Chains A and B, each alone.
Chain A
Amino acid sequence: MAVKGWIEVSDTYCKGCEICISACPQAVIELNMAQLTPKGYHPAHTFKDGCTGCAICAVVCPDAAITVYREITKVNTPVTA
């Protein structure tokens, strides 16, 4: 099963430059045209499921606006003899 992740985009920092949108391997980010940041930008947000928490958006973000989380999947403890 695919790893599940999510991002938080800070309104304070995001300038809507769209670099994260073009970099996202899952193509799940877009600008939120329904919202404006205090500086007047449309911030990025995930608009559909599919984020894996790969953090590529954060790697390319020029404004350190993105915090990335990933769901912790339970790892079966291997049974040893």
Chain B
Amino acid sequence: MTTPNLVYERPEAFTDAPTHYCPGCTHGVAHRLVAEVLDEMKVTDRTIGVAPVGCAVFAYNYFDTDFVEAPHGRAPAMATGIKRVLPDRVVFTYQGDGDLASIGMGEIVHAAARGENLTVIFINNANYGMTGGQMAPTTLPGMKTTSSPNGRDVETQGYPIKVSEMLSTLDGVGYCVRRSLHDPKNIRLAKKAIRMAFETQVRGLGFSMVELLSTCPTNWGMTPVNSLKFVEEHMIPAYPLGDYKVSDAIKQIKI
């Protein structure tokens, strides 16, 4: 495959299927980073993915690994079931913010609290993409969605949930960070974080999650490029990037 001239090519852990995501949606970037990490760690063959309900419902079509498709929000429970009977496999869930932070809040919190050796890729794009852009738990105050047409009014619709901050309080969590996919530098940092999360898992160092600030150009009503600016200017101030929890054992990992 590789030629001496090659600098970058599509990861091997990807199937040949083109994704169903809208043009410019950073779900695709997140997928690609996961696939690159699986390639680097040479674990594709023993990885089992758990797809969510939401835009990433068809994630199983894109990774060249075994995959199951969970009920809405229940991916961490399904992943727990898989990992507990196959502890030597690499198990990850890929979940959006409606899936993880709304209907699946119970499952994610308890999987984290139990310190399940799972990796969770959490896509925060501040709305329900698949159903057409409704308000999510992560929707910013004042942000217009199809179910908060006048902008999210925190008096009646509550405040955004900061998942990484919340989960990092749990002792079962080994690695919990927030990254963004809005520019090349941050994408590289995101990939490094995904690698660390999977390293956390294969070393049995507890629950690992990478929250990725992501775009939804279609439902935000912006071009893909403007969506990236929106992440930088509006999402990051509300959801600060950073390492919310990196256990001492994980700090020692050199990759």
A joins B in a complex: yes
* Residue interface mask B25-37, A partner, CB < 8 A = 1: 1111101100100
Determine if B23 and A17 form an interchain contact, defined as CB atoms under 8 angstroms apart.
Answer: yes
Q: Given that A17-B24, A41-B23, A59-B187 are contacting pairs, would A68 and B8 also be in contact in the complex, using a CB cutoff of 8 Å?
A: yes
Determine if A62 and B27 form an interchain contact, defined as CB atoms under 8 angstroms apart.
Answer: yes
> How many residues of chain A have a CB within 8 Å of chain B?
31
Interface: A64 (CB within 8 A)? yes
Q: Given that A16-B23, A59-B188, A62-B27 are contacting pairs, would A5 and B7 also be in contact in the complex, using a CB cutoff of 8 Å?
A: yes
Q: Taking the nearest CB of chain B, how far is it from the CB of A32, in angstroms?
A: 15
Q: Taking the nearest CB of chain A, how far is it from the CB of B116, in angstroms?
A: 29
Determine if B8 and A19 form an interchain contact, defined as CB atoms under 8 angstroms apart.
Answer: no
Determine if A72 and B5 form an interchain contact, defined as CB atoms under 8 angstroms apart.
Answer: yes
CA distance A53 to B3 in the complex (A): 14
Most buried by A among B3, B5, B8: B8
Partner of A69, one of B5, B28, B187, B188: B5
Determine if A18 and B184 form an interchain contact, defined as CB atoms under 8 angstroms apart.
Answer: no
Q: Taking the nearest CB of chain B, how far is it from the CB of A80, in angstroms?
A: 25
Chain-A contact segment, one of B52-60, B150-158, B220-228, B243-251:
B220-228
Determine if B8 and A62 form an interchain contact, defined as CB atoms under 8 angstroms apart.
Answer: no
- Count of A-B contacts judged by CB separation below 8 Å: 86
CA distance A15 to B223 in the complex (A): 13
Partner of A60, one of B25, B184, B217: B184
- A23 partner residues in chain B, CB cutoff 8 A: 183-184
Q: Given that A19-B228, A22-B225 are contacting pairs, would A67 and B6 also be in contact in the complex, using a CB cutoff of 8 Å?
A: yes
Determine if B9 and A63 form an interchain contact, defined as CB atoms under 8 angstroms apart.
Answer: no
Query: A8 — nearest CB in chain B belongs to which residue?
Result: B9
Partner of B24, one of A13, A15, A58: A15
The 3 closest A-B pairs by CB, nearest first: A62-B28, A17-B24, A15-B23
State the B residues within 8 Å of A (CB): 3-11, 14, 16, 18-19, 21-29, 31-32, 35, 183-184, 187-188, 217, 223-225, 228
New A-B contacts (6) at CB < 8 Å, excluding given A15-B23, A55-B8, A68-B7 = A10-B10, A12-B18, A22-B225, A23-B183, A59-B184, A62-B23
